[in-house]
Amino acid sequence: MNRWVYLFSEGSKEQKDLLGGKGANLAEMTKLGLPVPTGFTVTTEACLYYLNHGNQLISDMKDQVMDAVEKLSAKTGKKFGDMENPLLVSVRSGSKFSMPGMMDTVLNLGLNDQTVAALASNSQNERFAYDCYRRLLQMFGNVVMGMDNSDFENRITALKKVNGLSFDNELTADHWNQIVSEYKEIYRKKLQREFPQDPIEQLYLAIEAVFGSWNNQRAKTYRRLHDISDDLGTAVNIQEMVFGNFGDSSGTGVVFSRNPSLGDPGLFGEYLINAQGEDVVAGVRTPKPIQVLADELPEQFQQLKSICEDLEKHYQDMQDVEFTIEREKLFILQTRSGKRTSKAALTILLDFYKEGIINEAELVSRIEAKDLEAALHPNFDEDALKNRVSFLSGLAASPGAATGAAYFTAEAATEAKARGERVVLVREETSPEDIEGIAVSEAVITSRGGMTSHAAVVARGMGICSVVGCERLTVLEENKATVGEEVIEEGTILSVDGTSGKIYFGEIPMEEVTNTVALDELHVIWDRHAKIKVRANAETPKDIATGMALGAVGIGLARTEHMFFEKSRLLQFRQLILADSLDERLEVLKDLKQVQKQDFKFMYEAAEGKPTTIRLLDPPLHEFLPKGADEYREVAKELGKTYNEVKRKTDNLAEVNPMLGFRGLRLGVAYPEIYQMQAEAIIEAACEVTKETGLAIQPEIMIPFTIDAQEFARVRSSIEEAIQRSLKEYKQDLSYQIGTMIEIPRACFVADEIAQHADFFSFGTNDLTQMALGLSRDDSPRIINQYMEAGIFADDPFQVLDESGVGALMKLAIERGRQVNPKLKIGICGEAAAHPKSIAFLNNLAIDYISCSPFRIPQAKMTLAQDAL
Ligand code: PEP
Ligand code: MG
């Protein structure tokens, strides 16, 4: 025989599938000996059986329910429908996951025209008894029979008005008696039948209504939005009533065991004296803060506080507790894990750890990425977001959320910012010239480009929220874009969610509480567990400082070409690449060396002596060349060249496939003087900072785009020459390393040959992925999306390391490199490195560090620590 019903004394918290969350916790609290009114649960299996077999309560279920009612009677000494001492119950739904969209509660079930009189005489409180009865009529009518609640509420409002009263608790027994008659009349009129007087019929109807509510539209929508399976069903909890509306020594309330917004310890919540549960949420009267209960009913307050503390310890989680006090006796009606803001989530876990409620491993494993993310970036208010529909989406390139006015050029963005506007920069794609526009924007949106495109990398580095590759976005002109029929004009207010990749029209309020949890404590703990270190991809003093503050142990990738994104620098850089002769180039290099030296000094100081890997120039030239007649004219004027000279040289340098073109050390082979200048600047800056600060600066010079051992050796020896010159001039000794990026498949195969000349490797998985998969890092989002939709790719390989392809190449390179040089230091600095899914794989490779954008460091460290547990 199937078991459809469990007494609270028979279940436990582990049985959420069968008893629902509420039922399982009521059972657990009963087991713990807490003051829970007795009751029983009709299982989720009963619900599913009911729904799948013609919506009928089979006799077997009814028998088991009646059997449990008998046991309840025996325990309470009261009887269902009894004229002397009637048993009243509450009926509540409770599925495995809390679902606010479902039917919820019917109270005072068991009352009828006779039992209400018994309740009045037993309690010697007629007002109370008729208040209970009208509540039953109202809730049963609304929740079970689907009547409109306002039909009932209007009667109370009218009665109060006639009598010049403001609050429900001012109504007398006679008033409630009158309301009961009116309610019964409404019931008769609307449903063409009487309110059922038989408590057993009431009970069966209520159970059926709860079962049926599993499939109501609100519940279905809620499940769809929250990814909850339709196959779970809901349980029904039937529990002896306790009365918070008995008088002034009774009351009811809801408390959190800690503050759910901030995480501070201590009870947080509210209550109402002389009220039943629904009054607190319904806003009939204004509830009082729970701390007032300490004065009003001090003993009960202390008991509630100590129960909440016990529950927290038992569940090892912050609890959301419903309670009722009936004539000074406290009852707990429900406990569940409390919803909280991200800030509260982190604070509570850290406090639990300090209070000994959880151990270090639990602390490490229980922090959720979304909470950590929210600690670093602002977010939209969750409730506000629920009611909004996005009109555009793309790749979630850089997390956080922001609202601002749309502008389509860096200049317009900068001007708008200067006027005091908040700005969202909307571009087809971005280039180094947009850098100032990006820096003043709250968010950046592009229609083209993937997770490693210029906009994505730069915005992520700056901690600005960004959504890239929005395919449906067409940027038409400098002041207009379209998305299907929708038009975005200059000044249109957009809200951008860089965490979900969604974009909305209009303003969305931000989450009020921003996180101020000191991550320092967590870093110390994560560092104790993680096997792999985390460095920052950063080059500006600000980004480096952010990286250090967010727990980086050094810099793993300083992209020196990023140091030329500022307008004045860009011009110098253009002068370098547009130079016609060695002399002209050397002239520019002389100035650039001073500028770079200063840059590197700032960098070393910001990194406070931690290991610093500086990558020599790797400029995909198309990112730096002037574009179009206006820019040719401007550059020609600034550099003292003719328009035609600039155009000719630009045409000469233009490449069909610049990402595979004149990049990286190809530049160093063609123009050794450029890398020599950089090496000198790196070394001389290190000498000066060492001398000035006493920090032992040990630069790691990284050569990009290596294909071949001879190629690398040639460039290495050329820069070593320059380094020796500088050291001689400075009369200083300094230890430094020269290593290479491994980002071309061939370099993986010949890693043993390269390792004979290199002091370290750092995998550039952005380029390695581009080349291993033959997918352009800038043009592939459409293809990748299609492949993901078709199920060919599980993830975007530029976001999550492609283990079987790129990962296999990495393994090979590590194996071959270390065969020759067992001490070879190995890192990874491509964007995929920091993704939690990549980290599981990287943890098994013998690499020394991961390097990523500053704002991704905490999550990378957390995942490394969690994986190592
Ligand atoms: C890479 O290719 O993974 C890398 C880190 O270098 P960049 O993104 O600058 O090409
Ligand atoms: Mg690269």
Strand, helix or coil for residue 128: helix
Q: Is the CB of 767 under 6 A from ligand 1?
A: yes
**What are the tens digits of pLDDT across the range 119-170?**
999 989 999 999 999 999 999 999 999 998 889 989 998 999 999 988 887 8
183-199: average pLDDT: 95
Q: What number does the ligand 1 atom closest to the CA of 770 have?
A: 2
Give the pLDDT band of residue 571 (cuts 50, 70, 90). confident
State residue 494's pLDDT score.
97
Contact at 8 Å (CB) between 332 and 38? no
Across 823-829, average pLDDT: 97
**Secondary structure of residue 141 in the 3-state scheme:** helix
Tens digits of per-residue pLDDT, 70-124? 999 999 999 999 999 999 999 999 999 987 667 678 999 999 999 999 999 998 9
Is 318:237 a contact under the CB 8 Å cutoff?
Answer: no
Please write the tens of the pLDDT for every residue from 459-501.
Answer: 887 778 999 989 899 999 888 999 999 999 999 999 999 988 9
DSSP annotation of 560: G
**How many Cα atoms are found within 13 Å in the side-chain-facing hemisphere of 580?**
9
Higher pLDDT: 622 or 388? It is 388
Q: Mean pLDDT, to the nearest integer, of 191-212?
A: 96
Atom of ligand 1 nearest to the CA of 762: 5
Across the range 830-849, mean pLDDT stands at: 93
What span, in angstroms and rounded, lies between the C-alpha atoms of 79 and 314? Answer: 34
CA distances 562 to 524, 543, 545, 552, 737, Å, are: 31, 12, 16, 20, 22
Q: What is the SS3 assignment for 260-304?
A: CCCCCEEEEEEEEECCCHHHHHHCCCCCEEHHHHHHHCHHHHHHH
pLDDT digits (tens, 9 = 90+) for 741-750: 999 999 999 9
> Quick one: tokens of 20?
């629902």
The answer on pLDDT for 393 being more than 70 is yes
Nearest to 829 by CA among 854, 811, 804: 854
Instruction: For 184, list phi and psi in degrees, rounded to 5.
Output: -60, -35
> Which strands, in side-by-side order, build the sheet including 39-42?
5-7, 39-42, 234-240, 89-95, 105-109
pLDDT class for 517, splitting at 50, 70, 90? low
Inform me whether the pLDDT recorded for 641 exceeds 60.
yes
The verdict on whether 314 is a catalytic residue reads no
**Given 454, 529, 562, 757, which residue is catalytic?**
454
CB of 433 closer than 6 A to ligand 1?
no
Q: Which ligand is nearest to the CA of 828?
A: 1
pLDDT on residue 100: 67
pLDDT number for residue 101:
61
Among the bound ligands, the one closest to the CA of 769: 1
What local confidence, expressed as pLDDT, does residue 512 receive? 61
Question: Tell me, what's the pLDDT at 283?
Answer: 52
At residue 702, what are phi and psi to the nearest 5 degrees? -115, 130
**pLDDT at position 90, please?**
95
Ligand 1 neighbourhood includes 466 CB (under 6 angstroms): no
pLDDT of residue 614: 98
Question: 225: pLDDT confidence band, cut at 50, 70 and 90?
Answer: confident
d(CA 47, CA 568): 71
Q: What's the pLDDT score for residue 420?
A: 84
**Can you tell me whether residue 803 is helix, strand or coil?**
helix
Q: Mean per-residue pLDDT for 323-337?
A: 96
Query: Confidence class of residue 276 from pLDDT cuts 50, 70 and 90?
Result: confident
Amino acid residing at 404 = G
Angle (CA) 140 143 144, round 5°: 65
Pick from 213-217, 328-332, 663-667: least confident: 213-217
Residue nearest atom 4 of ligand 1, based on CA coordinates:
764
Is the predicted pLDDT of residue 555 greater than 90, yes or no? yes
- Model pLDDT for residues 41-51, shown as the tens digit of each residue: 999 999 999 99
Task: Please indicate whether residue 743, judged by its CB atom, sits closer than 6 Å to ligand 1.
Answer: yes
The model's confidence at residue 637, banded by pLDDT at 50, 70 and 90, is very high
Question: How many other C-beta atoms lie within 10 A of the C-beta of residue 744?
Answer: 23
Cα of 815 vs its chain's centroid, Å: 37
- CA atoms of 352 and 362, how far apart (whole Å): 10
Structure tokens at 714: 């040639």
Q: Is 279 left (phi over 0), alpha (psi -120 to 50) or beta?
A: alpha
Largest CA distance in the chain: 110
List residues bridging with 319 in a β-sheet: 337
Residue by residue, DSSP assigns 722-739 as HHHHHHHHHT-----EEE
Mean pLDDT of 515-525: 78
Tens digit of each residue's pLDDT (9 = 90 or more) over 585-607: 999 999 999 999 999 999 999 99
Domain ranges of the chain: 251-340, 379-505
Q: How far is the CA of 752 from the centre of ligand 2 (A)?
A: 20
Residue 703 in this model has a pLDDT that exceeds 60: yes
- Give the pLDDT confidence of 374-385 residue by residue, as tens digits: 777 878 988 888
Q: Would you identify the CATH topology of the domain 251-340?
A: D-amino Acid Aminotransferase; Chain A, domain 1 (3.30.470)
- Band of the pLDDT at 343, cuts 50, 70, 90? confident
Task: Say how many Å lie between the CA of residue 589 and the centre of ligand 2.
Answer: 24
Task: Give me the pLDDT at residue 799, please.
Answer: 93
Please give the pLDDT value at position 285.
66
| Any ligand 1 atom below 6 A from CB of 766 | yes
Nearest 5°: phi and psi at 238? -120, 125
702 pocket-lining for ligand 1 (C-beta < 6 Å): no
The residues that bridge with 367 in the sheet, in sequence order, are none
Report the pLDDT value the prediction gives residue 321, as an integer from 0 to 100. 95
Question: Whose CA is closest to atom 9 on ligand 1?
Answer: 559
Residue 434 CA, ligand 1 centroid: distance in Å:
20
Average pLDDT over residues 321-335: 96
Query: Hey, which CATH number is domain 379-505, 3.50.30.10, 3.40.50.1980, 1.20.210.10, 3.90.950.10?
Result: 3.50.30.10
The whole-number pLDDT of residue 462 equals 79
**What SS3 state is found at 327?**
coil
- What confidence tier does 812 reach under pLDDT thresholds 50, 70, 90? very high
Query: Across all residues in the chain, what is the average pLDDT?
Result: 92
CA 457 to ligand 1: nearest atom: 8
Tell me the mean pLDDT in the region 248-262: 91
* Tokens 């959880």 sit on residue: 358
C-alpha distance from residue 285 to each of 220, 281, 327, 330, 381 (Å) = 32, 9, 20, 21, 27
Give the single-character DSSP code of 490. Answer: T
725 contact partners, CB below 8 Å, separation of at least 6 = 680
CA of 768 to the centre of ligand 1 (A): 8
Q: What is the mean pLDDT of residues 789-813?
A: 96
Q: How far apart are CA 160 and CA 147, in angstroms?
A: 22
Helix runs in 297-409, H state only = 298-315, 342-354, 360-366, 369-376, 382-386
Per-residue pLDDT averaged across 538-549, rounded?
90
Q: Binning pLDDT at 50, 70 and 90, where does residue 654 land?
A: confident
Q: Is 558 helix (H, G, I), strand (E, B) or coil?
A: strand
Is position 829 annotated as part of the catalytic site?
Answer: yes
Q: Which amino acid is at 92?
A: R
Percent of the chain exceeding pLDDT 90 equals 74
Q: Read off the pLDDT of each residue in 611-622 and give the average, rounded to a whole number.
A: 90
Residue 400 beta carbon below 6 angstroms from any ligand 1 atom: no
Q: At what angle do helices 59-76 and 199-213 cross, to 10 degrees?
A: 120
Given a contact cutoff of 8 angstroms between Cβ atoms, the answer to whether 361 and 353 are in contact is: no
Per the document, the length of the chain is 869
